[in-house]
Amino acid sequence: MATREVISTGNELAAKAAIDAGCMFFGGYPLTPSSEVMHVISDLLPKKGGTAIQMEDEIAGISAVIGAAMVGKRALTATSGPGMSLKAEQLGLAQMAEVPLVCVNVMRGGPSTGLPTRVSQGDILQSKNPSHGDYKSITLCAGSLAECYTEVVRAFNIADRFMQPVIVLLDETIGHMHGKADIPTVEDVEAGIVPRKRFDGAPEDYLPYGCEHDEPATLNPMYEGYRYHFTGLHHDEHGFPTEEIETCRKLIQRLEDKVELHKDEIESYEEFMMDDAEVMIVAYGSVSLAAKEAIRSLRAEGIKAGLFRPITIWPSPAEKMKEYADKIEKVLVVELNIAQFHSEVQRATARLDIDGLFKVNGRPISPYEIVTKVKEL
Amino acid sequence: MSEIKKIKNLKEFSTSADRFEGANLLCPGCAHSIIVREVLNATNDDLILAASTGCLEVCTAVYPYTSWDASWIHIGFENGSTAVAGAEAMYKALKTKGRLKQPERTPKFVAFGGDGASYDIGFQWISGCMERNHDMMYIVLDNEVYANTGGQRSSSTPIGSSATTTPAGSISYGETKNKKDMMGIMAAHHIPYAAQVSPNKWKDMVKKIQKGFATEGAVFINAVSPCTTEWKFDPKNTMHLADLATDSLVFPLYEVIDGREYNITYRPKNIIPVEEYLAAQGRFKHLFKDEYKYLIKEWQERVDANWAYLQRREEAKV
């Protein structure tokens, strides 16, 4: 695949990726440290014929995005933790009504106002279940500048494939990082766009939610002659509210299965020096950069460490983690929160002796801290 | 009811019991601290304050320092109004039951918010407080932009202003929407008192704040707060900009009683053209290009129409 070299920040790359992936609408609200996504897109999107609106709050931001997505366009919103908390209800609606959209979350310290200008990875568990009820979140996490671009592109394709919101996690360090990145060409991105499924038969035969047990809904764009009901209530194949026992069960089971049974299409991870590793470090986002540096130092000292970096956080690459954990005794999860992904590694590997290195003071973890911790194991 | 504090002159006023210290991290030339000090110095009563997330909150309480010599709540972006309403409701309940430990003290409840927190995200919360008519004062520090998060537009940002999310350039002249008429909306709640104030018209301001404190029920104050960083002017000109805003009638000073009775409290002797107000700020620089000059004319017409409307409302007394 052809690439191009750019010098940019993570937030800027996320905005550019959205535009190259065909995003035509942005609705958002200023929130440090994600605001640059909105600044860049406010400038670039109108030039592409799209619309960027700064809404009156976070809830309005995602609501407008839901509306735009229902018209058949790709739509984006960007925020940080406090904004995610406010958007939660509408993320639930988008899960229930099956609206494809992308939500970039540039993580900062929490809870509440927290540490607005400092790094954190405290929203890992929030992104798994931002809203109440049962559904299966899809969350991707960028671990480099280039991935701020590629993961946003991928998120749009996944959102349209599975007809649901996709969260892309950046963190303050990656979002504000400024440097060189090799990213795919616009032509390659455009060639990779998988259009949303649509129904082309007679309007009277159209059943938006009448799909297989593991398939997403087929929501034709509005204003094209296909009428259907859109609701956050439990609904039947037409989209009309219902309390019918079997219909309700099937609907919620399908929301789960459409992702769970097709995990292989979403799963993504990086293995760094894992071939002969005797210590497995699990890290993601900006922390993985420090982990790689630490692994190089450790290897220079003869300690065979390797990195397993989930890129798709939810659903997690559980089988792969288990495979490694079955043969590697020392497993260390390094993250900027208190054991949020650590608990997932414990679950996936069915091991309670997984070690952790956690930091929650708004500062990045240094390679030195990781090296020291690995030596203590 | 507590006694109204007597204020003789500006020197005495500006040096009287300071409950808001000058040493803070606000930009040099920021009007926020001046407005807050004028409000706090207008009374001797105890104060229970809240500030929504914004410049004021971020810059005045950075550990280990605080500018506030008063009870002060920092809450979310949207709910400064509601936090104070809760405190006021609790105070009232304790008072009714005779369970106040110091019944002789008569605290005043004040919430500060920027225009982002007030015109946008906190709008419904303020509306709720006004509707329930809590005995509190809500003060907007209106700098017409999200100054704390990087200069994004708010619904207070006036037409033609260049902001980071409504940048002026080849295909746009910046913000395309008119400023929200917050005073009109608040007055429509039929609250006992609403007023616009400017930091450099300090006598007018003190009078209104004291009137607000003496009022039983909800009070809404909209204060123009020139922002040196986002309006783009020399920090030494803050008060000059505040004067330009009032003297050009872009920001007229008036009060509304019970949502019906309008009183204009300041009539500039020499009304200056809006163009002069716009020319003093970098955010309107592009409007002076030939293709956008019609916007300045429209600005003037809008301001004239609004002034005429206010005068009619004042005369009509309805």
Whether residues B116 and A46 touch (CB distance < 8 A) is answered with: no
Q: Where are the domains of chain B?
A: 10-316
Whether residues B164 and A56 touch (CB distance < 8 A) is answered with: no
Closest by CA position to B251, among listed B318, B195, B174: B195
CB interface of B with A, residues 137-166, below 8 Å: 146, 149-150, 152-153, 155, 164-166
Q: Which amino acid, one-letter code, is at B101?
A: K
Rounded CA-CA distance B113/B85 in Å is 14
Distance of CA B168 to the CA centre of its chain: 26
A82 in reach of chain B (CB within 8 A): yes
Rounded CA-CA distance B29/B228 in Å is 6
In chain A, which residues have pLDDT < 50?
none
CA-based nearest residue in chain A for residue B166: A42
CA-based nearest residue in chain A for residue B115: A56
ipTM tops 0.90: no
Q: Rounded to 10 degrees, what is the CA torsion of B175, B200, B139, B283?
A: 10
B251 in reach of chain A (CB within 8 A): no
Per-residue pLDDT, B22: 80
A interface mutation test: which of B77, B118, B148 has the most A CBs within 10 A? B77
Compute φ and ψ for B193, nearest 5 degrees: -150, 135
Which string of DSSP letters, residue by residue, matches A181-221? Answer: EEEE-HHHHHHT--PPP---S-GGG--TT---TT-----PP
A77 in reach of chain B (CB within 8 A): no
A280 in reach of chain B (CB within 8 A): no
Largest CA distance in chain A: 70
Task: For helices A318-327 and A340-349, give the axis angle rounded to 10 degrees.
Answer: 70
Whether residues A42 and B120 touch (CB distance < 8 A) is answered with: no
Question: How many Cβ contacts (< 8 angstroms) between chains A and B?
Answer: 53
Largest CA distance in chain B: 68
Per-residue pLDDT, B63: 84
Q: How many CB atoms lie within 10 A of CB B293?
A: 12
State the pTM of this model.
0.93
Per-residue pLDDT, B12: 83
A58 in reach of chain B (CB within 8 A): yes
Whether residues B150 and A32 touch (CB distance < 8 A) is answered with: yes
Whether residues B155 and A56 touch (CB distance < 8 A) is answered with: yes
Whether residues A47 and B120 touch (CB distance < 8 A) is answered with: no
> Which residues in chain A are closer than 8 Å to B169, comparing Cβ atoms?
43
Rounded CA-CA distance B318/B307 in Å is 17
Continuous segment of H or E residues that includes residue A165: strand A165-171
- Classified by CATH at the fold level, domain B10-316 comes out as Rossmann fold (3.40.50)
Residue A220 — left, alpha, or beta (φ > 0 → left; ψ -120 to 50 → alpha)?
A: beta
B176 in reach of chain A (CB within 8 A): no
Per-residue pLDDT, B2: 66
CA-based nearest residue in chain A for residue B176: A53
Compute φ and ψ for B173, nearest 5 degrees: -100, 20
Q: DSSP state, A103?
A: E
B53 in reach of chain A (CB within 8 A): yes
Whether residues A31 and B149 touch (CB distance < 8 A) is answered with: yes
> Which residues in chain B are closer than 8 Å to A46, comparing Cβ atoms?
171-172
B88 in reach of chain A (CB within 8 A): no
Per-residue pLDDT, A32: 94
Whether residues B165 and A39 touch (CB distance < 8 A) is answered with: yes
Sequence-distant (≥ 6) Cβ neighbours of residue A122 within 8 angstroms: A81, A107, A109, A110, A111, A114, A336, A337, A340, A360
Residue in B146, B169, B172 closest to A30 by CB: B146
pLDDT digits (tens, 9 = 90+) for A65-101: 999 999 999 999 999 999 999 999 999 999 999 999 9
Burial B37-51 (b: 16+ CB within 10 A, else e): bbbbbbbebebbbbb
What is the distance in angstroms between the Cα of A144 and the nearest Cα belonging to chain B? 25
Give per-10-residue mean pLDDT for chain B (318 aa).
78 79 90 94 92 93 88 90 96 95 93 96 96 97 95 96 93 93 97 97 95 96 97 97 97 96 96 97 96 96 97 90
